[in-house]
Structure 1
Amino acid sequence: MNRFVVISGCSSGGKSSLLAELAQRGYAVVEEPGRRIVREETASGGTALPWLDAHAFIRRALAMAAADLASAAANPAWTFFDRSAIDAASASAEMTGTPLSHPPGRYHRAVFMAPPWPELYVTDGERRHGLHQAIAEYDRLLRDYPALGYDVVLLPRLSITERADFVLKRWARRRKASHALLAIDIDGPSTDWKAQ
């Protein structure tokens, strides 16, 4: 059973806050590659930044996500990832016009997706793109994760603690269903984020 759970979705949709709450509850979490890359490149004067050299940035994101997955493999505990190699592969396919392909390694089949939350959206030194670009990325991920065999579960607009409870309850149900060899059930929130 794959124990690597991805939380992806729209920028500024509450992913990092949710991961911080899960970490507070004792779960292993992995920070988003993109923000780590931006900090490293900025500190070193590098150019592998989405607004300077997007191709180099995506190559670094793919490499970092692969390294994160390899590191998590040494940990027997369940691990929650803030984005994944799929996000970078999706961006690469979009940018180069090449067919989408799955990067090495697999994640748990159920992927939690944070929909756009315009009221929360902010830019900062590590996130310079606007809400319109963030929603376009979200729409692409909502298409590409299922194309690679993943089931998307949308995160409802709730408080951080309620969102963490939602993730853990859904995750527990899916674990139970998988262990019982039952079909995975997707009866979660509507995939229309505007209805959330």
Structure 2
Amino acid sequence: MNNNNTNQKLYILTGGPGAGKTTLLNGLNDIGFITVAEEGRRIIKEQLSSHGNGLPWIDKGLFAKLMFDSSIKSFQKIVRISGNDPVFFDRGILDTIGYLKLEKLPVPEEMDITAREMMYNKNVFILPPWKEIYENDPERKQTLEVAEHTFECIYETYLEYGYHVIEVPKVTVEQRIRFILDHIERMQ
């Protein structure tokens, strides 16, 4: 799948856990944008409820595969239905590769190939670690230190795949939304 005009409207919000991505995504959804929730959190909830092994604290490789497969399905579905409206993803396909690198697991060749074929807008919005808002919950067990390292791995992964990474400032949700929308407007 090539990076056509439709894919130019697909924007990624990424970063380490607990940086405010979901809150920002919800804010974008509240003002009428199409948004796609994070796959990892959904998978963790499903695996917990079914007593599955695809959890990052049980089987990191299986968790990565489930996350990657779900990200591909979400991408394909959105490409089919989105038209010319901007769509915001809470993480993208490359986040799984960043996770594998974080965990020092090999990146399967087919994942690498797919990630290079299924492209989003080249401008990726990354949210830095933010100690003041970081919280753990049943799906987020990482320490702030791991969240910071995750941020670094994801940042480097997106750069490696040719994306332009734009760091979103640590400001209110409304100000973050304005920052992103202003960037998108200037890029058009």
Q: Which TM-score applies when normalising by structure 2?
A: 0.89
Measure the CA separation in 2 of the matches of 1:124 and 1:156: 24
Aligned equivalents of 1:60, 1:118: Cα separation in 2: 29
Q: Which residue in 2 is equivalent to 1:139? A: 152
Tell whether 2:125 aligns with 1:112.
yes
Tell which has more relative contact order, 1 or 2 (C-alpha 8 A, sep 6+).
2
- 1:93/1:99 contact within 8 Å kept: no
Question: Cα offset for 1:93?
Answer: 3.9
- Aligned pairs for 1:1-196 (under 5 A) are 1=5, 2-74=8-80, 75-76=82-83, 77-94=85-102, 95-98=104-107, 101=112, 103=115, 104-174=117-187, 176=188
3-state SS of paired residue (2:125): strand
Distance 2:126 2:166 in 1: 6
Partner SS for 1:16: helix
Instruction: State the one-letter code of the partner of 2:184.
Output: W
- Offset from partner CA, 1:131-161 (integer Å, 9 cap, x none): 1111111111111101100000000011011
Aligned mates of 2:11, 2:181 — CA distance in 1: 11
User: Per the alignment, in what secondary structure is the counterpart of residue 11 of structure 2?
Assistant: strand
- Cα distance in 2, alignment partners of residues 19 and 9 from structure 1: 13
Structure 2 gaps of 5+ residues are none
Q: Deviations over 1:69-126 (max 9, x none)?
A: 0010122122100001101012224432458835241010000000010111111000
Q: Provide the aligned C-alpha RMSD in A.
A: 1.5
Structure 1 gap ranges (5+): 177-196
Query: In structure 2, how many angstroms separate the alpha carbons of the residues matched to 1:155 and 1:92?
Result: 24
